[in-house]
Amino acid sequence: MGNRFTVKDFIFLCIFIAIVIILGLTLGSYNYLTHQVAGLRGDLQNMEAQQTSELYVLKKLQRDGIRMNARGTHTGQSASTADIRKTLPDGSRYVMFPNPPQPPYNPYAKPDFAYGDWLVESLESEPNRIMPYVPQSESAQTIQASVLESLLVRNPLTLKYDPWLARSYTLSKNGLKITFVLRRRARFSNGKPVTAQDVVFSYDTMMNPKVNCAPIRSYYTDIKSCRALSARTVVFTFNQPYFKALGIAGGLPIIPKSVYDFPKISEFNSHGKLLVGSGPYVLKRWTAGQDIVLTRNPRYWGPRPIFNRLVYRFISNPQAALQSLLAGQIDADVLEPSQWLKYHKNKSFRAHFTTYKYLSSASGYNFICWNLRKPWFKNRRTRVALAMLVNEPAMIKTFMHGMAVQNVGPFNPVSPQNDPHIKPIPYDPAKARRELKKAGWSMGTDGLLHRGKTVFRFGLTIPSQFPLGKRIAEYIKQQFASAGINMQINPLDFSTLLQKINHRHFDAVMLGWSGSIENDPYQIWYSGSYKNEGSNAGDFDDPLADKLILEGRRTLNYKKRMHIWHELQAEIYRQQPYLFMFTSYDLIAINKRIKNTKPYPVTGVDAADWFVPLALQKYR
């Protein structure tokens, strides 16, 4: 009798379950309360920071006074002189901007301009780490762009370099010396001023062989030295005249010595999450797997940041990102071609979202890199034949729905480096077979091409998180098979793939480079870059290309240089070390409450220019 499950036991069981449920709810509400408190704390910090910065501005106004300009609006800061851009008597160029330059599509001048609101964007992948310099994914660079700053900034319309952290710069006539004078009021988010020591420290960290930043470091090899002449003056000296000298020296992200001076330099590589700079936003919180939140830097030295918060949610699949965009959970999204086709003509979609389609210089291009050390790819004629077997225009039309442009060389079609007159290699499988025969390949009894002892069988390594890449690879496999070439597809995790590229353990690899307005082809195409841990993964070694690269780097005259780049492009395209594929359009949809989103002609949209009018603001 004593062990039976009676009504009393049942009541106890129910009480027990009730207690468990209450505990569960309490824990849940604890979690909820934690979220609330974190939010409140963040709001409090924001308010405090806002007060501090307003106090700071007030103090400055009190000290320096306000200057009204012709339009009746105030510039807010003391402007004793105007911007200067001139050539000094000794031939050097001198540029001085007493105030940080304003963006060409100036949001501050718009009538309904207002500060505030959050900007929520989505990132495709969660970065492993966001330390400065250490190589990382595009996501990390997007985040760093709002937190770190550099000495110069490039005007997106005029493409000239304007001083940002620097107040002025002097470029010597022979292009070998650049002197920067830092702004007095530039300071990091921890309050410490940006000094020349920090610039030198940043340079030294970048060049330190123990820091894991070899790919970026290779851009800086031409800098002979970086010295601080005084508390606010820095001099960069170059080995030889270099067309990108201003861009390199001016583009170095400046990190505070007080924060990043670790006793053991290896800590720099392993830390992963320390991101402190002088930029308008600071890293507030990184919730692994969910999002990264940046808040307004309360001690920002420059024009007050527009948004209160930048939130980057990690949404790895585009369909979920589109859903979030439609639900209003994110404010801007990059669309896939199929999504674009479906939505951009849709009336109700356009009522809520602004859409843009453009080619930007940052898009870079996709390609297949042949490892030129392997026996199959040594011959140029073979490589050209391989390119003839691939129907690029049809591939773009079918797989990308036409939302891409074929590449005819290592330069982005929108960049001035690209020569629009070069004709792409036509799709001609019959001719390809003849070319292969001429190159010495003959069909064996097993159905594959042979040349001596070599059988035309190799593996193409593709990044596995790139579904489009898989389709393209399968298509190319079929095309090659029809000519007697057996290509196997090896999908790899991206980090493993990068490793294999570093060690040159591949036959052919499908990749993409991102680009900039004017690329320096040295890292990718110069023959020496193979040994120096540069990005010449396929070991491209062509004397004419080397000569053109070195010459181009030294030429400071824009027109002459572009001419050299065009020649270089023709030579590289002729040699076909890559199978150049395409550059895709940027397809962007932005929530309509965000204004001033017009993209610049070459560089595309710039989120630093966006704002939300007071009436439409959604988040406080």
Residues 513-532 binding another protein (CB under 8 A) are 531-532
**In the complex with another protein, which residue's Cβ is closer, 85 or 397?**
397
Residues 278-307 that bind another protein (CB under 8 A): 288-291
We find the least distance from the C-beta atom of residue 515 to another protein, in angstroms, to be: 21
Site string for another protein, 389-428 (x = CB under 8 A): --x--xx-xxx-----------------------------
For another protein, which is the closer residue by CB, 105 or 475?
A: 475
Region from 24-32, 105-113, 378-386, 581-589 binding another protein, contact rule CB under 8 A: 24-32
454 binds another protein (CB under 8 A): no
Residues binding another protein: what is the number (CB under 8 A)? 94
Site residues for another protein, window 168-207 (CB under 8 A)? none
Nearer to another protein, 149 or 222 (CB): 222
CB of 49 to another protein, least distance (A): 17
For residue 429, CA distances in Å to 406, 426, 488 come to: 18, 9, 20
Question: By CB under 8 A, is residue 1 in contact with another protein?
Answer: no
Stretch in the footprint of another protein (CB under 8 A) among 192-200, 295-303, 311-319, 357-365: 311-319
**Are the C-beta atoms of residues 459 and 488 closer than 8 Å to each other?**
yes
Identify the residue among 50, 168, 329, 454 touching another protein (CB under 8 A). Answer: 329
Between CA 542 and CA 533 the distance in angstroms is 18
Q: Does 128 bind another protein (CB under 8 A)?
A: yes
C-alpha pair distances (Å), 74 with each of 84, 454, 559, 607: 20, 74, 40, 24
Question: Crossing angle, helix 392-399 and helix 467-481, to 10 degrees?
Answer: 140
CA-to-CA distance for 285 and 288, rounded, in angstroms? 9
Regarding 447 and contact with another protein (CB under 8 A), the answer is yes
212-241 burial, b at 16+ Cβ within 10 Å, e below that, comes to: bbeebbbbbebbeebebeeebbbbbbbeeb
Please name the residue that has the structure tokens 């035309």.
456
| Amino acid sitting at position 531 | K
495 binds another protein (CB under 8 A): yes
Applying CB under 8 A, does 344 fall inside the site for another protein? no
- Part of the chain binding another protein (CB under 8 A), chosen from 94-102, 212-220, 299-307, 516-524: 212-220
Phi, psi of 422 (to 5 degrees): -75, 135
Per CB under 8 A, does 322 bind another protein? Answer: yes
Q: Which is nearer to another protein, 166 or 248 (CB)?
A: 248
Options 65, 89, 209, 452; binder of another protein; rule CB under 8 A: 209
Query: Measured from the CB of residue 3, what is the shortest distance to another protein in angstroms?
Result: 6
- ∠110-111-117 over CA atoms, to 5°? 75
Q: Looking at 75-83, 254-262, 309-317, 366-374, which segment touches another protein (CB under 8 A)? A: 309-317
Please work out, in degrees rounded to the nearest 5, the angle formed at the alpha carbon of residue 599 by the alpha carbons of 593 and 600: 150
Q: Which stretch binds another protein (CB under 8 A): 143-151, 196-204, 362-370, 446-454?
A: 446-454
533 is an interface residue for another protein by CB under 8 A: yes
User: Strand ranges (DSSP E) for 254-306?
Assistant: 281-287, 291-296
Measured from the Cβ of residue 14, the count of other Cβ atoms closer than 10 Å reads 10
Residues 468 to 487 in contact with another protein, rule: CB under 8 A: 470-471, 473-475, 477-478, 480-486
Beta-strand relationship, 486-492 and 457-463: parallel
**Min CB(39)–another protein separation in Å:** 3
What is the smallest separation between the CB atom of 309 and another protein, expressed in angstroms? 10
Q: What is the DSSP string of 512-541?
A: EE---SS--THHHH-GGGGTTT-S-TT---
Q: DSSP code of 370?
A: E
Does the footprint of another protein cover residue 223 (CB under 8 A)?
no
Q: With binding defined as CB under 8 A, does residue 442 bind another protein? A: no
Q: 3-state SS string over 153-219? A: EECCCCCCEEECCEEEEEECCCCCEEEEEECCCCECCCCCECCHHHHHHHHHHHHCCCCCCHHHHHH
Nearer to another protein, 76 or 424 (CB): 424
Nearer to another protein, 451 or 554 (CB): 451
Residue 374 near another protein by CB under 8 A: no
Q: How many residues does the chain have?
A: 620
Nearest distance from C-beta of residue 292 to another protein, angstroms: 12
Among residues 350 and 554, whose Cβ is nearest to another protein?
Answer: 350
Least distance to another protein, CB of residue 491, Å:
6
- Least distance (Å) between residue 447 CB and another protein: 4
E-state strands within 100-171: 118-123, 152-154, 161-163, 166-171
Q: Establish if 317 lies at the interface with another protein (CB under 8 A).
A: yes
Answer whether 412's CB lies under 8 Å from 363's CB.
yes
Binding mask 102-121 for another protein (x = CB under 8 A): ------------------x-
Using an 8 Å Cβ cutoff, are 458 and 374 in contact? yes
Using CB under 8 A as the binding rule, the residues of this chain from 37 to 66 that contact another protein are: 38-40, 42
Between CA 285 and CA 263 the distance in angstroms is 26
The residue written with tokens 């292009």 in the block is 175
Q: Is the CB of 311 or the CB of 590 nearer to another protein?
A: 311
Rounded distance between C-alpha atoms, residue 64 and residue 53, angstroms: 16
